[in-house]
Chain A
Amino acid sequence: MKLIRLTVENFRQYYGKQRLEFAKDGQKRITIIQGVNGVGKTSLFTAINWCLYAEGAYNIGELLSKEAISRADVGEKVQAVVELVFLHNGTRYSIRRTLQGTKQDGGTIATEISSDLTMMRTRPDGNAEPVPNPIGTINSILPSNVRTYFLFDGEKIDNFAKPEAAKEVKRAVFLVLKLEVLENAKKHLETAAQDYRRELKSVSSGALRDLIERDEAARAESDKASKRRDELLQEVESAKRKISDIGQRLLEQQNAQVLQQQRERVERDLKQRRSELDAIVSSIRDTTTGAYAVAAQSAITSALQVLDEKRERGEIPSSIRKQFVQDLLARMSCICGRDFENGSSEHKRLQALVESSMPSSLEDDVFATSAALHTCNERTEHLLLDLDAAMKRRTELVEIINNLEAELDDVGRQLKGSPLEEISRLEKQRQDFLADIESYNGEIYSLAAQLTELSKETTNLEAEITQARKKEARERLLSDKLDLAQHAADAIGKVYEAFANEIRLKIEAKTKEIFKKLVWKDSHFQDVQVSPEFNLEVIDRWGMPARPELSAGERQVLSLSFITAMSRISEDEAPLIMDTPFGRLSSKPRNNITEHLPDLADQLVLFVTDEELRDEARKNLEPRIGAEYRLEFNTQTSCTEIVEVTR
C-alpha cells in the first residue's frame, strides 16, 4: 500500500474541502505534516483511520466540522467526507467514507446511523469500477487489526518493550506475519473435516455395491433361466415334430392306419371340446362375479313384499298418479267420459284418493325403487338360470373330454400292444415324446414364474440402485471434501511450527540490526532476542538482560525497531504513519533515529510539532522529504487549513 492523496471535507476542524498529496518517490519518500499542539495533526491521523476502518471517532460531534454545522440552515444536510487514494500491487484504489447529518433547531445535528463507504479501483483501461467487497479488500491490503503497527502514536509505542509485553509481541507477530491467518485456516479446515467425517459416517453404508451384486446375480439367474426356457421350447417343438412324423408313419402302416386316423379325429374333437370347456369356464367365472345379486335376492323379494303390503293397505300410493286424479277432479269428468257433480259419490272417492296420496317427489321415489327392485330380481333370476345352464354344459363337456381321452388312451394301448414291432415301437416312442413334452411344459411353466419374479426383482433393484447412486455421488463428493480439508489442515499444521520459528528468528535478527542502528548507546547493547515465548529482550555488554533498565526513549527505539523489523520481513508494502514520533526523545537518540528511519519504510508520513523536527534531526530527513505541509489554525473560525510548504 502506497498512499497518494488524502482529501478531507468538513472533517473536524477542517472546514470545506482540503487536500494533501503524499510523497511516494523511492528516494524522497517522507511526508511531513507539521503543526503546533492542538492544531489538528491527530485529526488528520484519525481521518486516515476512519476512512479505512470507520474507527478512531466515536460520535458525530467529533467528526462533523462545527463551522460547517454553524453555517448550515436548520434542516440542511451537512456532510463529512474523507477520501484516500492509494496504490496497491500496481492497482490504484480510491476509498471514500461519508457521514451525513441534518441540522436541527438549537444547532444540534441528527445524523444517519452509519457512515457510507465506497471503494473504486482503476482498471487497466483507465476506467474506474466499484470494488464489490470493500471491507474484505481493505483487510486483504492492510487488515484492521494490524493497522496499529503501521499507523501509530509515536509517544505510545513503547508497549512492546515493557516486561509484560510477551503476549502483545506474540500477537503482533501473529497478526503482521499472518500466522494468525494460518492458525485460523488450520482450525477452520479441521472443523470442516470433522463435520464431513460425521456426515459421511451417517450417509455411508456400502449399500450400492451390495445392490449391484444382487442385481448382477438376479440378471445372471434370469439369463440362465431364459436360456433354459428357450432350450425347452425348442425341445417341445422338436418333440411335437417327431410326434407328427410318427403319426405320419403310423398312417403309412396298414395295420395302424385306422387307429391313427381315429386318434387324429379324436384329437381334433378333443381340441374343440377343450376350447368350448375353456369358454364355458370363463363364462361361469364372469357370471359368478355378479353373484352378490344372488345373495341379495331374498332381501329384494322381502322388500318388494313389504311394498306390496303397504300399497294394499293404502300406506303408499297405488300406481294411479296423484296428478292424474287431480286432473279428473278439475274437469269434473270421469275416465269413462261421464260427468259427475260436486258432492257425488264419484267426486268423494276421487277426493279420498287425492287426500290419501303422498307428496309427488316421495311418490316418484317409491315408484322408482319398486321398479329397480323388480328389475334386479328379474336379472338375478336370469343369471341363476344362465349359471345353471353353464354348469350343466360344463359337466357334459368334462364327461365328453374324459371319454375322448379314454378313447385316445385306448388307441394308444392298441397301437403299443400291436404284434407288429414297428407299430409298437413307434407308439412307444410317441408316448415317450408326449411324456417329455409334459415334463418340459412343467419346467417351462416353473421357469416362466421364476423369470417373472426375477424381472420384478431387477426392476426393484434398478430403482434402489438409482437412489443409491445418487447417494453415492454425494458420498464421493463428501469423501473428496473430507480428504481435501484434512490434508490441507495437516499441511498447514506441518509447516506452521517451522515457519513460525523461522519468522521469529528473522524478526529477532532484523530487530537487532535496526536497534543497533537507532540506539545511540549501541556499544552498550550487544544483542536483541525474541525468545520462543516471544519475549523481546535486550542483552547488555555483560550478557545480562537489560530491558528493565531501558529508558523511555530506549523502549520507544526498541519498539520502533521491532515494528519496522516486522514490516520489513512481512514485506507488506505498507506506509509507516507516525503521530508525534520524536516527542519523548532527546536530541541524540532523535538524531540517530532520523538518520536511519527513512530506510526503514517504503513510505513515511510524520505528524510532527515544530519542536520535534529541527536542527540535526531535520537535516537528517531533509534529503528524503518529498512533501511537506503546515497546519495553520485560523483564530477567527477555529478552523485549520492545510498549507503546502514550497520546497
Chain B
Amino acid sequence: MFKENFQNLFADFEPRIQTLINRVLKFEQENITYERIPRLKEQLDQIITEVAASKEAERARDADQSE
C-alpha cells in the first residue's frame, strides 16, 4: 500500500512526468548509500534524455502522420 501510495502521489501529473519521477526515484533508491553518487550528472541526464526523447519520437510520428 505504501508503495502504491508513493506512486499514487504523482498520479495527477502528466504521464511523462510520472515516468521520469519513477525512474529518478528508482535511481536514487539504488544509490541511496552513496554520499556522493558517482557520475550523478551523467546518469541523471541519461534518464531525462531518454524520457525527453520519447516526446521527440512522438513529435516525429505526429509530423509523419500529418504529412
> A: which residues have CB within 8 A of B?
133, 135-137, 139-140, 143-145, 175, 177-178, 180-182, 184-185, 188-189, 191-192, 195, 476-477, 480-481, 484-485, 487-488, 491-492, 495, 499, 569-572
Contacts and interface: CB of A to CB of B under 8 A. Distances in A.
Given A178-B6, A185-B21, A570-B2, A139 B32 contact: yes
A133 B29 CA distance: 13
Interface in B10-66: 10, 13-14, 16-17, 20-21, 24-26, 28-33, 40-41, 44-45, 48-49, 51-53, 55-56
Contacts of A139: 29-33
Given A144-B32, A491-B21, 9 more contacts: A139-B29, A139-B33, A145-B32, A184-B28, A184-B32, A191-B41, A485-B20, A495-B10, A571-B1
Nearest to A476: B56
Interface of B: 1-3, 6, 9-10, 13-14, 16-17, 20-21, 24-26, 28-33, 40-41, 44-45, 48-49, 51-53, 55-56
Given A192-B41, A499-B9, A181 B48 contact: no
B6 A140 contact: no
A485 B21 CA distance: 9
Q: Is the interface of B mostly helix, strand, loop or mixed?
A: helix
B41 A480 contact: no
A434 B55 CA distance: 65
21 contacts: A136-B30, A140-B30, A145-B33, A178-B6, A185-B24, A188-B40, A191-B41, A192-B48, A477-B52, A480-B55, A480-B56, A481-B49, A484-B48, A484-B52, A488-B21, A491-B13, A495-B9, A499-B9, A570-B2, A571-B1, A572-B2
Nearest to A495: B9
A24 B28 CA distance: 30
A491 B11 CA distance: 10
Given A192-B44, A477-B56, A481-B49, A140 B29 contact: yes
B17 A491 contact: yes
The 7 closest A-B pairs by CB, nearest first: A136-B30, A571-B2, A480-B52, A144-B33, A181-B28, A495-B9, A143-B32
Given A192-B41, A484-B51, A492-B21, A133 B3 contact: no
Contacts of A499: 9
Q: Is the interface of A mostly helix, strand, loop or mixed?
A: helix
B26 to A, nearest CB: 7
A182 B40 contact: no
Contacts of B31: 136, 139
A143 B20 contact: no
A193 to B, nearest CB: 9
A192 B43 CA distance: 11
Residue with the highest number of chain B CB atoms closer than 10 Å, among A175, A181, A476: A181
A310 B56 CA distance: 86
Nearest to A195: B41
A480 B29 CA distance: 25
B26 A140 contact: yes
A484 B25 contact: no
B52 A481 contact: yes
A140 B1 CA distance: 17
B24 A488 contact: yes
Contact of B20 (A181, A488, A572): A488
A327 B28 CA distance: 101
A133 B30 contact: yes
Contacts of A485: 20, 48
Given A136-B31, A139-B33, A188-B40, A484 B24 contact: no
Given A144-B33, A484-B51, A188 B16 contact: no
A185 B28 contact: yes
A473 to B, nearest CB: 9
Contacts of B16: 484
Residue with the highest number of chain A CB atoms closer than 10 Å, among B9, B14, B24, B26: B24
A521 B13 CA distance: 48
Nearest to B43: A188
Contacts of A570: 2
A491 B29 contact: no
